[in-house]
Structure formats: C-alpha cells, structure tokens
Structure 1
Amino acid sequence: MAAFDDLMAFQRQTEALAQIAGRLSWDRETMMPRGAAAQRSEEAGALQAVLHACRTDSRIGDWLDAAEQETLDQVGEAQLRHIRRSYERTQRVPGDLATALARLTALSQGRWAEARENDDFSAFAPVLAEVVALRLEEGAALADGGDVYDAMLDDYEPGAKATDLESMFTALRPGLIALREAALNGAAAPKVSGQFDAQAQMRLARQLAKVCGYDMARGRIDKAVHPFSSGSGDDVRITTRTSDHDPFNCIYATMHESGHAIYEQSIDAAYALTPLGKGVSMGVHESQSRIVENQLGRSRAFTGWLYGQMKDAFGDFGIDSADALYANVNSLHRGFIRTEADEVQYNLHILMRFDLERALVAGDLAPGDLEGAWNDRFLRDFGYAVPRASQGCLQDVHWSVGLFGYFPTYSLGNVYAGCLSEALRKAVPDLDTQLGRGDLSQAMGWLRENVQQHGGLYTPRELITRACGFEPTEAPLMNYLTEKFRDLYPAG
C-alpha cells in the first residue's frame, strides 16, 4: 500500500497546517491585539496560499489513482473518499482567489466587529459586498455549472441540497409558529435578579464543561464576543461569554460549545490529523451541541440539579425553586438575538437567514440592501421591529467571514438532535434519574459510541440513520418541542 501510505503521510502534514490556521483564527477571536488585524490578514493569506498549494499538489491525484487500485479496509476507503472530494473541489478554485478570500475575511471580521459595536451597517456594507462577490466567484468555480448555493452548502453539509432543506424547513414552520403563538400568550416565566460576578460564572462554566465530559487537559475555556469551538484531537478549545445580569448566557453557551468540543475529543484517536479525524459535517456537529444544551441541559431533571449548583455559585438569584428555574430556561420570549433565542423561535431565526442568504447568492438581494430586507422579514416573521443593527443583520459573524451555506446546518442539527434524543431515551430508560444527579456520563457515552467516535467514517445522513435506526426527519424534533412546550404552556 505504498501509494496510500505516501498519500496519508502528506495528508497528515496538510491537516497539521490546517490546525495551525485554525489556531490563528482562535487567537484572533480571543487574545489578538486589535491593532494586529492587518498583519493577521497577511498571515492568514500566506498560510492559506501554502494550504491551497498542498491541497492541489499534482501528486495527490497520482496517489489517489494508485491507492484506489490497492486493497483497503473500510477506513482506508473512507479516507480516499474524503481526500478525493477535497482535492477535486480545491482544484476548481484558483490559488489567488483562495488567498484573496483568506485575506479579505480576516480583515472583514474586524470591520464587522467595529460596525456591530457602533450599530452602523453602512460601515460594513462595502466590505460585505466584496466578501459576497468573492464567495460567488468561488461558488461558481465549485459548482462547475451546477447550483452555486448547493456548492456552498456542500462545504458544511456534504450531499445536502437546498431544495431538500427547504422542504424540511417548510414542514417545520407551521408547528413552530403555532407553539410560539400559544406560548407568548401564556404566563411570563420567573426571572433572575441581581448582579452575577464574571469569575463566578466562569467557575461554574468550567464545572459544567467537565460534567458534560469536556477534557480540560486537552482544552481550555476563554471568553469571546461570539462563543465558538476550535480545533480537534488533543487541542480542542471553546469560548463562552458572561453577562452581569444574565448567567444563563454563560451557562448554555458553555454547554453548547462543550457539545461541539466533546465530539472532536471523542473521535477515534487513530484518525487524528486525517480527513476522518474531525466532525463529518456541521449539521452533525450542531446536533451534538444542541442535544447537550437543550434535550439534556434544559431538561426538567438536569435543571433540578443545576438549581442547586447556581445557589452555591450565586446565592439568592431571584428564582425560588427548581421548577421555576426549569420554566425560566425554557421560556418563550420576545427577542432579537439568535444565540439567545428559545428552542422554538431559534429555528425561525435560521429559516429567515437561509432565505436571505439564498437571495444574496442568487443576486435577488444586493448586499447594501441587506439591513432593510432583514428588518422587513423580521417584522413579518416575529411581529416587532428591529431597533438597531447590532440586534439585526450585524449580530452574527458568519457572513463577514464568507460562511454562506452555514446557517441552515443549525436547524438541520436541531433535526438530527431530535432524532438522536428519541433514540437515546429508548436506549437509556432511566436517563432522567441520571440527569437529576447531574450525571451525563451514560448519555454522553451513548453519543460517543454511536456518533462521535466515527468522525468522518460515514456520510452525515448515514451516520444519523445508523445511530437512530431510522432516516432523519423533522418529526421527532417537532414531537419533542410540542410535548415540552405544551406542558410548560398548557393554555396553548
């Protein structure tokens, strides 16, 4: 297997360089001095040029052709599948375009952050137009005559098609709206009160990450404006954020990102620095973060345990019982921010972004008109007006770094999580008893065995089907949401 071995040795070097590029991005979000943005843009562009050269090296094609004639096991065949897909896609994108995109998005992220801080979309609109133009150029190259948005989506959810997602989201929408209308007309949930020390929040965040199974010896927790997870294998880092008046922002951002990080830490170590050594898709990745944050972390059983931990951490925080805490963390409420939305309305946020970015890619919406289109759509979908850009089209970092096709994977991840949760509860009948003790070990063990350890061995849809025993569908998610929120808001 000389060709396969040579190919994999080369691939490990390329994957290591990609991890370094990811570390530069992590540093930009957490510790980089603001004045270093221009230099970091050059560094990112230089590294992207090296990576592009590695990924388009003509030897890869020769190695692939030779290796495919060798006798390989299932793992070897999966490695070749990923490498060929990446090689063929990367070859379609000119090196100078890949470098220009890396430089521009490193710079535009800083412009987005400044515009967001100043609530000034007009300051960001010109650079957004540049990002859209370059991504459209890249998308057209990747599509090779096919659908450009599908080509972008394929970066994050291989094999997915926008028309299929549109059908799934269309099926979700009526039930989500009905649940929202019933709940918003119900009684208001209890609210927290007081000031919450940032250091106390971070101590609780670290405790929760460990409870979820996050290995701090191979990771770390820092703060960022927009929480995220970064890395794979033995260096997987997460960020969270704190708010003086809202500890749940920190608590559930931490649990969410822990779900992402634990997935990466749980992949078979034999796959490290290979195409199989990372999450197979963003939809599957999101399923791991969402099931930890929501189906486990917001369950009545787990919040009963969490109530005691919060009393220890903060003393009196304005909520007088575990049941009241459960109602609080699952309340449906008016709001503008996707990452702070409840489980029902979160998906409506994603459906809006999905439609808007498809319009941008199709040329039906000019980048400079995004703010107005966003505000009009939000008013139509949610029934109240966006007061400022930081609570509207500038709230998310994704488009500033060219992540078109990424947003729909969030709702797809929720769909996958609904399927996995249904299967998990059948496999672990006493799950609530365990969650009531703050014990997630068996739940996370089931996810590790059935989803996480496999990395990229299977296709996304195949992986979820194998884990659940049925093809993924939106029905389990809607069943879960309906049962949960009709119990919380019985008048609906």
Structure 2
Amino acid sequence: MSHFDDLMDYERQTQALAQVAGRLSWDQETVMPRGASPQRAEESEAMEHVLHARRTDPRVGEWLAEIDAETLDPVGRANLRHIQRAFDRTNRVPVKLAGEIARVTSSAQRSWAEARAANDFKAFAPVLAKVVELKRAEAQALASGGDPYDALLDDFEPGATATELEAMFDALRPRLVALRDRVMGADHQPAPLSGTFDESRQMELTQEIARAFGYDMEHGRIDKAVHPFSSGSGLDVRITTRTSATDPFGSIYSTVHEVGHACCEQNIDRDYLLTPLGQGVSMGVHESQSRIFENQLGRSRAFTGWLHGRMQEVFGPLPVADADAFHGAVNRVTQGFIRTESDEVQYNLHVLLRFDLERDMIAGKLAPADLEEAWNARFEADFGVKVDKPANGCLQDVHWSVGLFGYFPTYSLGNVYAGCLMKALRNAVPDVDASLAEGNPRPATGWLAENLQRHGGLYEPREVITRACGGVAPSEGPLLDYLEAKFSEVYKL
C-alpha cells in the first residue's frame, strides 16, 4: 500500500472513533440518566485522550511528509489538506489540556442546565470561568503568536477572521436596525397564533415535515432536548426538537432548522464516508442550510400557505382569518429575549451581541463573573428591554458551557450565505414557489443537495458557496434585500 492509502485507512478509524465520541454527546443531551454526569465527564475525557493521541501520532506526520500531493486527484488533495491542518492544530495543543477541556466541558454542560433551570448565574460563574481559562490556554497554543480568537474561530469557519466578520456585521447592523424600527412602528401588526396544540400531534407533524424536506429517517431519528441540535454524519445523523403546547411553531421550525443541518450531512457523497470530506466543511456553510430550510423555504408565503391547511387538518380550525394572516403569524417581529426563537429581522442582532462578548472574554477584557451584567446592559442597549432573568439572558445558550467559543458568528455568516444561495436557487428553479405551495420543498432542497451539500469538505467554505452561486462571491447584500422585501410585504410598509 502507498503512504496515502496507509494514512487514509488510519484516518477512517479516527473518524469512526470521533463519531462514537459524538454519540456520547447526543446521549448526554437526550436520554442519559441525570446522575450519570460525573461518569460521562470521565468517559468524554478518555475518548478525547484517545482521539488526541491518534491525531498527533508521529506516523501521521511521517505519512504526510512522504506524500506528494501532486500525484493525487482533487479528492485526495482535499483529504490531505484537511488531515494536515488537523495534524498541525492538534499538535499545538498539549494532550493534558485537550483532555481537561473535554472533562470540564462535559460536567459544565450539566452545571449550565441546572443553573439555567434555577435562574442562578452566580452558581454557574465559577464553572464558566474555568471553561474560559482552558479555552484561552487552547487559543494561545493554537494561535502561535496570532489572534487567539481567530484561532478558535478557525475550528468552525476555516480561513475566517474576526476582523473580516466584524466588517460584515457592521454592514448588516444599520439596515437591520432601520428595518426593525419600521416594522415595529408599522400600522399593520400581524396577530399571533393562540391556542393549545397537542404535543404528540406536534411530533407527528414534525416528522412528516422533516421527511418532506428530505430528512432520511432510515439513517436518522428525532428526539427531544432542551436545546435542539443535529449530531452525526454519514449513515447516522440524528436531530432533536422541542415542543410547547402553546407554541407549535417552535417545534415545527426547530425541526426544519435541524433537518437543514442533517441534510447537509446525509447528502454528502457516500464515497467520502468516514473521511475528512464526509462532513460539512464549516459551521457557516452548515448554518446556511439550516437557515435557508427554516426561513427562505419554511417561512415563505408559499410554504406557509400549505402549512396553514395542514395544521387545520391536524389540530382543527385555527384562530387566524386566512392563509395571509397565518403567514403573518409565522413571521411576526416581536421583542423577545431568546435567540433561537427570534424573528429573521432581529436574529443577527442577537448573534452580534454574543460575538462581541465572547471576543472580550477570550481577550481578557471581560471577566466571566461579570458576564451577566455586561450581557444585560448590552441587551437593553440593543433591544430596548431589560432582561428579566438569567435563563432569558446569558444562560439561554449551551455553547459557552461546552467551550464553543468562535461558534456564534457562524450563525450570522450562515444567514449571509443563505441569502446568496436563495438568490441563486430562485434563478435556477424559477417555479420553486409552486412546489412549496403544495408542501413539496424537494425541488429546492434537491438543488441545494446537488450544488452544495454533496461536496462535503471537498472545497473551502467560501469556495463552495461561490461555486453554488455561479461564481459570485458571498456578500451581505442579498440577505438584506430579501429581508427588506419580505417584511415590507408582511407589515404592509
């Protein structure tokens, strides 16, 4: 066998073990017994030690040194690029530190959940301080003299920098704030959907909708969790959702969002299974799929027209006048605390708050103990309301408890990508609304599968978006144009 064959055989085993580690996290969020948390922390640390040892094995370095990339095809070169990058990054982080991060973040997740339920930030603050301390150490090791935050960001969006994202976000903010102010001050204000909706029927409807959007239930499943998420790749891609008797949209659109993530994994070329190419290339690209599924497709006038009729079949008559009123209810812009429940107009403002605060924590400008005060002040300045409790403020997201610093900005980057992709999709599939009106998103999701999802990690993040958009590089313009057009119609501006 060649050095490249040896390397790829070794990598497949490493990828398989990483999937097992991911399954531990899925189990922890869904069905793990409450009292198992201390043991799971030890298990997670042990798995991280094994994975770190494999990723830094000297044989990987020897194989990489012996392989001539020019002798490989594009798929081989892409695999080599990913393995080299992972090898270099992993070798910069001491194994003891990597294991400690895995152990602490596993137990911190439970601490966060308990503090959130009790609305007690002070109980969580020391745990958060330890996580931040460890992530700062990791960032310093990875940065090699560069920007520590960029080093963490690179785990989720390779090649991106905080400086370029800040410039993009600065361009987003003025038009988003102006649109929000116009919408909030509009004479026409859509009414909310009121009533109670059987939660078991909600789950049945979400499974139906998940299949309609292309989720393969033969290789996936839907469970409940506090924080909806998608987990896995290849032949085992699982999602979670949540239900509320008074808010069926929360269940429906959480599911559609996570199905976007899941399809991003399920539709990757099966030849890439258990290789570095066999998963989404970045979280920004991943988020572009979840957001376009949820918003541009799922909240469109065409699809909500079908959903209005289907929900009446499932739940009985709805307290809205017609399909137009239902579309308004789905797309209401309201003051709210929770990012995951935010409307499209304000969602990115929630992300920008987190982006700034986490950069300050990693830079040492903001002590974790002072996060609640800083969050509340920033939220009131950005949204005009005071945070009423920690669960609606700095304790609402799981990300920081599990060490995902650098993850938040990819949500807004994904929205930008989604705006660009939807513009290209409409040009390529001009009758997309006709199929959405029949409850059939497949022409749209099929275009995304063919033009983006199947490539997995073959291309760099911005390259795969640019290729899908016919050579047009991503920018914030299409997203802002889409939002202004949509909400001007909804609010009769």
Short-chain TM bin: over 0.9
| Contact residue 116 and residue 390 of structure 1 kept, 8 A | yes
Structure 2 matches for 1:411-450, cutoff 5 A?
411-450=412-451
| Contact residue 375 and residue 394 of structure 2 kept, 8 A | yes
- Equivalent residue, structure 2, for 1:147: 147
Q: Percent identity?
A: 64
| Contact residue 69 and residue 77 of structure 2 kept, 8 A | no
**1:375-427 C-alpha deviation (Å, 9 max, x unpaired):** 00000000010000000000000000010000000000000000000000000
- Equivalent residue, structure 2, for 1:7: 7
> Structure 1 residues 147-156 or 61-70, which shifts more?
61-70
2:206 counterpart letter in structure 1: A
- Tell me how many residue pairs correspond in the alignment: 491
2:139 counterpart letter in structure 1: G
- Equivalent residue, structure 2, for 1:78: 78
State how far apart, in whole Å, the 2-side matches of 1:349 and 1:193 are. Answer: 25
- Equivalent residue, structure 1, for 2:301: 300
State how far apart, in whole Å, the 1-side matches of 2:396 and 2:88 are. Answer: 34
State how far apart, in whole Å, the 1-side matches of 2:308 and 2:69 are. Answer: 59
State how far apart, in whole Å, the 1-side matches of 2:317 and 2:366 are. Answer: 49
Structure 2 matches for 1:334-373, cutoff 5 A?
334-373=335-374
- Equivalent residue, structure 2, for 1:205: 206
State how far apart, in whole Å, the 2-side matches of 1:317 and 1:27 are. Answer: 36
State how far apart, in whole Å, the 1-side matches of 2:326 and 2:67 are. Answer: 57
- Equivalent residue, structure 2, for 1:473: 475
Displacement of 1:70 in angstroms is 6.4
- Equivalent residue, structure 2, for 1:60: 60
In structure 2, the gaps of 5 or more residues are none
Runs of 4+ in structure 1 off by over 4 angstroms are none
- Equivalent residue, structure 2, for 1:105: 105
State how far apart, in whole Å, the 1-side matches of 2:362 and 2:97 are. Answer: 18
What secondary structure does 1:237 align onto?
Answer: strand
Residue 166 (structure 1) aligned with residue 163 (structure 2): no
- Equivalent residue, structure 2, for 1:489: 491
> Structure 1 residues 404-413 or 189-198, which shifts more?
189-198
Displacement of 1:188 in angstroms is 2.6
Displacement of 1:8 in angstroms is 0.2
> Structure 1 residues 190-199 or 124-133, which shifts more?
190-199
What secondary structure does 1:319 align onto?
Answer: coil
Please give the root-mean-square deviation of Cα atoms over the aligned residues, in Å. 0.8
- Equivalent residue, structure 2, for 1:94: 94
State how far apart, in whole Å, the 2-side matches of 1:402 and 1:249 are. Answer: 26
1:125 counterpart letter in structure 2: A
| Contact residue 69 and residue 80 of structure 2 kept, 8 A | no
> Structure 1 residues 186-195 or 320-329, which shifts more?
186-195
State how far apart, in whole Å, the 2-side matches of 1:191 and 1:462 are. Answer: 40
- Equivalent residue, structure 2, for 1:453: 454
In structure 1, the gaps of 5 or more residues are none
2:229 counterpart letter in structure 1: F
- Equivalent residue, structure 2, for 1:396: 397
Residue 385 (structure 1) aligned with residue 386 (structure 2): yes
| Contact residue 191 and residue 318 of structure 1 kept, 8 A | no
2:28 counterpart letter in structure 1: R
What secondary structure does 1:239 align onto?
Answer: strand
Displacement of 1:355 in angstroms is 0.5
Residue 32 (structure 1) aligned with residue 32 (structure 2): yes
- Equivalent residue, structure 2, for 1:291: 292
- Equivalent residue, structure 1, for 2:175: 175
Residue 116 (structure 1) aligned with residue 108 (structure 2): no
State how far apart, in whole Å, the 2-side matches of 1:414 and 1:338 are. Answer: 14
Displacement of 1:317 in angstroms is 3.0
Displacement of 1:319 in angstroms is 1.9
**1:40-71 C-alpha deviation (Å, 9 max, x unpaired):** 00000001100000000000011111122661
State how far apart, in whole Å, the 2-side matches of 1:264 and 1:313 are. Answer: 30
Residue 230 (structure 1) aligned with residue 226 (structure 2): no
What secondary structure does 1:222 align onto?
Answer: strand
Question: Alpha carbons of 1:146 and 1:202: their partners in 2 closer, same or farther (altered >3 Å)?
Answer: same
State how far apart, in whole Å, the 2-side matches of 1:332 and 1:214 are. Answer: 29
| Contact residue 189 and residue 491 of structure 2 kept, 8 A | no
State how far apart, in whole Å, the 2-side matches of 1:419 and 1:327 are. Answer: 24
> Structure 1 residues 9-18 or 304-313, which shifts more?
304-313
Residue 256 (structure 1) aligned with residue 254 (structure 2): no
Displacement of 1:177 in angstroms is 0.2
| Contact residue 235 and residue 266 of structure 2 kept, 8 A | yes
| Contact residue 192 and residue 332 of structure 2 kept, 8 A | no
State how far apart, in whole Å, the 2-side matches of 1:193 and 1:359 are. Answer: 40
State how far apart, in whole Å, the 1-side matches of 2:161 and 2:194 are. Answer: 45
What secondary structure does 2:152 align onto?
Answer: helix
State how far apart, in whole Å, the 2-side matches of 1:471 and 1:80 are. Answer: 25
What secondary structure does 1:473 align onto?
Answer: coil
Structure 2 matches for 1:124-143, cutoff 5 A?
124-143=124-143
State how far apart, in whole Å, the 1-side matches of 2:397 and 2:328 are. Answer: 27
Question: Alpha carbons of 1:69 and 1:161: their partners in 2 closer, same or farther (altered >3 Å)?
Answer: closer
What TM-score, normalized to structure 2?
A: 0.99
2:154 counterpart letter in structure 1: D
What secondary structure does 2:170 align onto?
Answer: helix
- Equivalent residue, structure 1, for 2:410: 409
State how far apart, in whole Å, the 2-side matches of 1:156 and 1:12 are. Answer: 21
State how far apart, in whole Å, the 2-side matches of 1:473 and 1:321 are. Answer: 36
**1:194-227 C-alpha deviation (Å, 9 max, x unpaired):** 2111100000000000000000000000000000
- Equivalent residue, structure 2, for 1:156: 156
- Equivalent residue, structure 2, for 1:326: 327
State how far apart, in whole Å, the 2-side matches of 1:368 and 1:444 are. Answer: 44
What secondary structure does 2:405 align onto?
Answer: coil
